[in-house]
Amino acid sequence: MPVLNVQGLEVFFGHGEERVQALHDVSFTIDRGEIVGLVGESGSGKTVTSLALMGLLDPRSSRIEGQAELGGTRLWDDANRRRPQVEVPMAMVFQEPMTALDPVFSIGYQLIETLRLRQGLSKARARAAALELLDAVGISDPRARLRAYPHELSGGMRQRVMIAIALACAPELLIADEPTTAVDVTIQAQLLELIRDIAADRGMSVLFVTHDLGVVAETCDRMITMYAGRIVERGPVGEVLAAPAHPYTGGLLAALPSPEHRDRRLATIPGRVPPPGERITGCVFAPRCQHRADICAEPIELGPFDDTREVRCARAHEIHATGADR
Amino acid sequence: MTSPSLFSLESVSVRFPVGRRRHVTAVDRVSLDLIEGETLGLIGESGSGKSTVARAAVGLAPVSAGTVRWRGRDVASFSGKERRRFTESVQMVFQDPHSALDPRRTILQSVREPLDVMGRGEKREREQVAVNALEDVGLSAQFLTRYPHQLSGGQKQRVNIARALVTDPKVLICDESVAALDVALQAEILNLLQDLKAEYELTVLFISHDLSVVSHVADRICVMYLGRIVEQASTPSLVGQSLHPYSEALLSAQPLVHQSSSHRRIVLSGDIPSPLSPPPGCRFSTRCPHVTEECRTTVPELVEISQGHDSACLRTADLYGVERPADREAS
């Protein structure tokens, strides 16, 4: 029984003539305690997906279609009126902890405020819970840190505080949007370990939005590759990264530099992501794909590739058989 | 060092005042040689001083102590004319391609600007040089009259590279030049830099926090931590067998797509200490898993441990089975 169930999620921005579609029929599920990576370049729709689920898209400028359920509760009703987020057990951690924290309130205030609002705790109990949470995210001397302001903390510590605040919502689902992009690698290793441990200990599900395939390989159970607002491939991380079924995932993988491939040219993906709103009838990736054929002009849906994977590519089996994209 | 170094820093320190007569030492006695034709990678986390090293080298940050040498000569002794020639020969490409370009200038104006400043030749000639440079980085004539906001991130970074190339430099310093780009674009820019390096016969100082990028492009790598170089070696040597616990941790912290089963992750505890009050002794001692009492009190110097492989760790004998030369002499 999945914790999160997203069906046919579509997001439109703007009105009338200028309306553009940012997401196309995005459907996926996340099980309890599972970490799912959402991967793609900028403009692929991964952040729009997470914002839509969190209810953070402005209803005046955007329109959401499709359905999403968290633990059996619908995130919005048929009229697309979003419910107040406070009632839904989910939380989000953003890329830049300095802008996500309020600079004029202490860490303790922000943490206790969240605990009182989301869990209805009394002031004293919220304070005790705040200390526990700071301890759980690996902040030393939590009592002193409660009085600290965001600018007094390092980047890694701020992100730990953000995770603590997210945990204060007692979330069943944590959406982590590039949570380690702004921190250094040794700190990133600490944070990834923390997120993995918390997910395992609390049975919390995580939607992990990132552009870094290395991070996905280390952190996630399953991965979803997005391109131009569509899911193009999904499956267990190990299988997808060992032999990607979609040429786009393959291209992203081949573009990664590594010491083993020194002095060799890196594989690139020519062209660029089509802007949202561009009308495309066939495969969206076809203009940049080196395996393009006549069949790619036909519309293509996400379909099964093997027992565990799905792919949106008409030639996936052909390409895969020749191993041409490795 | 057998081959002559083109550009060298000798025990360079950079200190910034932070008020109340206090100073922060951003770069502490760093020595490095840039040998003609090579790509030297400089890697470190934020606050390690890697950008300050580059800025001090080109004169964008004040050198508090030590000497910067260009072809063996102290740059501080340069006359105005020599200084100008030196500036032309060393160019920089920065991290954020957008903020490095003037939003009110067209691409052609931006790329031509260094030549205008130097007053080189006729306007028409300067323009031709700029057009050629833009062509070399893969931007056609249609981009000349455009403004930065009309370009994508990758295109803007190409413009920045073209602008660095118009003065026909000998050394290109890339400070996190691909950090702001997506993987596919990053690959394109890295390829482009490799091509240009061959075409313009460039020597490159490549600064990055990303070990996989640095180890892809660099011939040699310097690892910095809290203002000091802790290890320096050829790329295969450093990646194959690093001789400093910090480099080891950095290597193991890199998230890898294809995990080998033998991969042992070292997760360092704690944060980088503030450069305002660096720990006495080895600067890595507060986070090092192999720390001893001696590490907390003795400042380890960077010395050659094995052929062309320098490390600033006191315990290389215990940890890696290679003795420090100082110990050999002492015993």
* B211–A contact, CB cutoff 8 A: yes
Contact A262 B235 (CB under 8 A): yes
Task: Quick: pLDDT tens for B33-76.
Answer: 999 999 999 998 888 888 899 999 988 899 999 999 999 899 98
Q: Which residue has the higher pLDDT, A98 or B8?
A: B8
Phi, psi of A199 (to 5 degrees): -60, -40
Across the range B16-23, mean pLDDT stands at: 85
What CA–CA distances, in Å, run from B31 to B28, B236, B286, B302? 9, 21, 24, 9
Nearest C-alpha of chain B: how many angstroms from A164? 17
Please choose, from the candidates B92, B110, B63, the residue with its C-alpha nearest in 3D space to the C-alpha of residue B204. B92
Give dist(CA A291, CA B193) in Å, integer.
Answer: 27
Determine contact: B190 vs chain A, CB below 8 A: yes
Say whether residue B212 is in contact with chain A using an 8 A CB cutoff: yes
Helix axes of B123-136 and B153-165: crossing angle, nearest 10 degrees = 130
Mean of all residue pLDDT scores within chain A: 87
Q: Compute CA distances A9 → A25, A28, A89, A284, B292, whole Å.
A: 5, 9, 20, 18, 57
| Amino acid at site A64 | I
DSSP-based three-state secondary structure for A224: strand
The per-residue pLDDT for range A13-23, each reduced to its tens digit, is: 988 888 889 99
- What residue ranges do the domains of chain A occupy? 92-170, 244-322
CA distance B84 to chain A (A): 34
User: Has residue A272 got a pLDDT over 70?
Assistant: yes
Residues B247-284: pLDDT tens digits? 999 888 888 887 654 566 788 887 788 888 889 899 99
Total beta-carbon pairs less than 8 A apart between chain A and chain B: 112
B142 touches chain A (CB under 8 A): no
Band (pLDDT 50/70/90 cuts) for residue A326 is: very low
CB < 8 Å to B275, chain A: none
Q: Are A44 and A228 in contact (CB under 8 A)?
A: yes
Half-sphere exposure in the Cβ direction for A317 (13 Å, CA): 5
Q: How would residue A246 be classed by pLDDT, with cut points 50, 70 and 90?
A: very high
Domain regions of chain B by residue span: 5-218, 242-331
> Does domain B5-218 match CATH 3.40.50.300?
yes
Rounded to whole angstroms, the Cα distance separating A17 from B5 reads 62
pLDDT of B331 reads 45
Q: Which residues from A are below 8 Å from B when comparing CB atoms?
A: 41-42, 154-157, 184-190, 192-193, 211-215, 217-219, 241-242, 251-253, 255-259, 261-262, 265-269, 272
CA distance B208 to B213: 8
Is the pLDDT at B174 greater than 50, yes or no? yes
> How far B269 CA sits from the closest chain A CA (Å)?
8
Q: What is the pLDDT of residues B100-119, one digit of tens each?
A: 899 999 999 999 999 988 88
Q: Which of A180, A186, A211 is best to mutate for the B interface (most B CBs within 10 A)?
A: A186
Kindly report the nearest CA distance between residue A89 and chain B, in angstroms. 30
B188 reaches A (C-beta below 8 A): yes
- Distance between B79 CA and the closest CA of chain A, angstroms: 39
Q: Which residues of A274-290 are buried (b: 16+ CB within 10 A; e: fewer)?
A: bebeeeeebbbbbebbe
- Residue A79 above 80 pLDDT? no
**Span B306-325, pLDDT tens digits:** 888 999 999 988 888 888 87
A78, A82, A203 from A3: Cα distances, Å: 20, 19, 10
Chain B nearest CA to A262, separation (Å) = 5
Please provide the DSSP assignment of B56-107 as one string.
HHHTSS---EEEEEETTEEGGG--HHHHHHHHHHEEEE-S-TTTTS-TTS-H
Please identify which residue in the block is written with the tokens 């690139």.
A268
Q: Is the dihedral of CA B208, B212, B214, B217 positive or negative?
A: negative
Cα–Cα distance, B210 to B77 (Å, whole number):
36
Put simply, the answer to whether A259 touches B215 (Cβ < 8 Å) is yes
| Whether B272 and A184 lie within 8 Å, measured CB to CB | yes
Rounded to whole angstroms, the Cα distance separating B86 from B77 reads 12
More confident residue, A223 or A99: A223
| Residue B296 pLDDT | 92
Residue contact B268–A255, C-beta within 8 A: no
Eight-class DSSP state of A260: G
* DSSP state letter for A275: P
* ipTM of the prediction greater than 0.90, yes or no: no
Structure tokens at A118: 């989301």
pLDDT, position A325:
43
pTM for the structure as a whole: 0.85
> A141 and A91 in contact (C-beta within 8 Å)?
no
User: Using a CB-CB distance cutoff of 8 angstroms, which residues of chain A are in contact with residue B265?
Assistant: 189
Q: Among A27, A26, A17, which residue's Cα sits nearest to residue A229?
A: A26
